[in-house]
Amino acid sequence: MTLNSNLVSDQDLVLLIDAHKFKDTFIVKAITSKSSKLKKVGGLGVIDTSKLVGLEYGAEFEIGRKRFIVLRPDIMDNIKNLQRKAQIITPKDSGVIIINCDIKGGDTVIEGGLGSGALTLVLANIVKPKGKIVSYEISDANIKVGKTNLKNTGLEKSVEIKKKDITKGITEINVDSVILDIPEPWHVVNNAYNALKPGGHFASYSPTMNQVEKTTRELQKNKFIMVRTIETLQRELVVGEGGTRPGFEMLGHTGYVTFARKIL
């Protein structure tokens, strides 16, 4: 059974969505082996994952006593379901990073601050299978959570985690992008310059304007051009029975993203 099969195979990561309101989602690995097919899923209890094997993707089934739709998890499902240690970089900001850093298949990307791995997943999903994300992280707790999240999404092959302080140096050279989510990104501007290929992309995600200011001034002192910082606001448009209106809930702020490109 190939990856393109429309039936769930052994070892597939499967998304279960409640077939009532389509809100609650769970990501589970389908396992036929007798010894490990039973899996405790938070909110569902223990389920026999071998029963998922052979189900048709997109169809509705009863699991336990609830009805679910079975889908392949997409990148948004993966982000929604990952374990979190710290604030993650949300999809609205990772979309901005992808397009402004021109992330594409085959890219080598250095990431400063693995965090919970939310951005790492998004990047790995796009550079794979030929490209690679190298993620520098100093916190053991983050590394543990990040590794679990990568494993749960099958993207671990495209990510190398290094327990190193990125402010102390970057080993790699000629990379396509350096992307930071650390408290003092201005200390990495010089290291990023040395790691990047000419024309390569620098990006730094920071919550405060003061961080943006320091990072920008450091980039301007170095051989970086097209230095710019972007803030993104996102809101749902809700189509209800009574009419259509913007959503009431909205994140007032996540972070600014500062971009630049290396020249010689």
Q: How far is the CB of 238 from a second copy (least distance, A)?
A: 8
Q: How many CA atoms lie within 13 A of 233 on its CB side?
A: 7
The CA-atom distances, in angstroms, between 216 and each of 13, 96, 170, 180 are 41, 18, 20, 13
**Closer CB to a second copy, residue 6 or residue 36?**
6
Q: How far is the CB of 94 from a second copy (least distance, A)?
A: 6
Please give the DSSP secondary-structure letter assigned to residue 45: E
The CA-atom distances, in angstroms, between 39 and each of 32, 34, 169, 209, 225 are 12, 11, 42, 45, 51
**Residue 69 in contact with residue 16, Cβ under 8 Å?**
yes
**Closer CB to a second copy, residue 37 or residue 78?**
78
Torsion from C-alpha of 243, 247, 248, 253, nearest 10 degrees: -160
Q: How far is the CB of 223 from a second copy (least distance, A)?
A: 8
Q: How far is the CB of 24 from a second copy (least distance, A)?
A: 12
**Closer CB to a second copy, residue 64 or residue 198?**
198
